[in-house]
Structure 1
């Protein structure tokens, strides 16, 4: 052993640490943790195959950070922003039995393809979250719905130290901290910017509109937003 580990090893170790994480939340809120949930063995198989496929090296990459995993997205696969069906189709990883197709994943799939494909994209970036565990809340009808860490003042207060520690641990992947891309140009960007002012994690943070906002409310502007993503990722306009 040389003492140096690969990016894949560091990310998978981070996931194992998340599997052991417990969080105190306000009443009505629940954590969705794919790494210790009912499909944890399947998630471990998928994530191990994915990260060894694309991250078995020690080169620095830039972080792309969303807010938190969606309960029917990353909370299913364990791979940030990767839809289960696309994982199966595009990487050869067998995730049969729980494939979920989502417009957000389709938008990012298109951007990644235009960037140069998965091999090129994942050689340059690591996709993750400010809050790397999923959150749901029980609505007035008694149903669980997706929730973001910043939606409730008490929730954010309880999660604060976990969020900062999670960012520190993700920087330990060996990332290029000159720039971070924030998916979610509203409250996610505002919170990450505030934390960064105190912690100085990144030299610069670039906000990008969330794919859900694009695909649900600005379908006719998808091309414009895709070009914005590509321009940012390629470092144009720096």
Structure 2
């Protein structure tokens, strides 16, 4: 089953050796609460055995995925999808945007029937207890590149992502996703969309239009 393979991939993905620039990696799926919440989510929404189109960000943040185990899903959104939790209800901008997209596409039952939300690198990265992106310094990118290759390869070959297309969340992230795909030849097409956090931070007034753009692109990948 898709959910079982996904759970195995995320819970068993290895921590890297010590990273440059005082960057620290940790797996939310080694903590009891996010692991349990994600297990409930996967068993509810990642049912069946069919491939999903992967929507992949950079690496998880500590306030959304880091607490709930579900990519781009803060505790408020998780509760709205029927997964009760006692986590603080602090909103995370990326989650707010993705929640709007999911609702516009018919709700979580419909959305996750077709799509998987995740990251190129599935572990949280922190520097000085703040979120860190794998591409923020060349040294960290180089150190993590084999693990990022492993992550994306496993998602396709072991978990079972669709190969006809994938969606990259973030323009800068697109540079690295395309490089990965050139090396690994896993997807026929990579569609790059502006990152949800960027859209919420700099283009929030155009929220309706930006959600509609996401929906148009995603609809075209499953129709």
Q: TM-score range by the shorter chain?
A: over 0.9
| Superposition deviation, residue 224 in structure 1 | 2.0
Separation in structure 2 between the aligned mates of residue 60 and residue 90 of structure 1, nearest angstrom: 21
Separation in structure 2 between the aligned mates of residue 147 and residue 230 of structure 1, nearest angstrom: 28
Richer in helix (by share): 2
| Superposition deviation, residue 194 in structure 1 | 0.9
Deviating 4+ runs (over 6 angstroms): none
| Superposition deviation, residue 164 in structure 1 | 0.0
Contact 2:21 / 2:140 at 8 angstroms: preserved in 1?
no
Partner of 1:3: none
1:181 pairs, out of 164, 167, 175, with 167
* Unpaired segments ≥5 residues, structure 1: 1-5, 139-143
Task: Normalising by structure 1, report the TM-score.
Answer: 0.88
Contact 1:63 / 1:125 at 8 angstroms: preserved in 2?
yes
Q: Does 1:68 align with 2:59?
A: yes
Separation in structure 2 between the aligned mates of residue 208 and residue 99 of structure 1, nearest angstrom: 27
Q: Does 1:114 align with 2:104?
A: yes
| Superposition deviation, residue 200 in structure 1 | 0.6
Separation in structure 2 between the aligned mates of residue 62 and residue 224 of structure 1, nearest angstrom: 22
Separation in structure 1 between the aligned mates of residue 165 and residue 17 of structure 2, nearest angstrom: 29
Task: Normalising by structure 2, report the TM-score.
Answer: 0.94
| Superposition deviation, residue 24 in structure 1 | 2.7
* Unpaired segments ≥5 residues, structure 2: none
| Superposition deviation, residue 167 in structure 1 | 0.4
Which is higher, the Rg of structure 1 or of structure 2? 1
Q: How many aligned positions are there?
A: 221
Separation in structure 2 between the aligned mates of residue 82 and residue 23 of structure 1, nearest angstrom: 28
Partner secondary structure for residue 70 of structure 2: coil
Separation in structure 1 between the aligned mates of residue 155 and residue 18 of structure 2, nearest angstrom: 21
Q: 1:89-122: per-residue Cα shift (whole Å, max 9, x none)? A: 222x222134331222111111110111100000
Stretch of structure 1 that moved more, 27-36 or 115-124 = 27-36
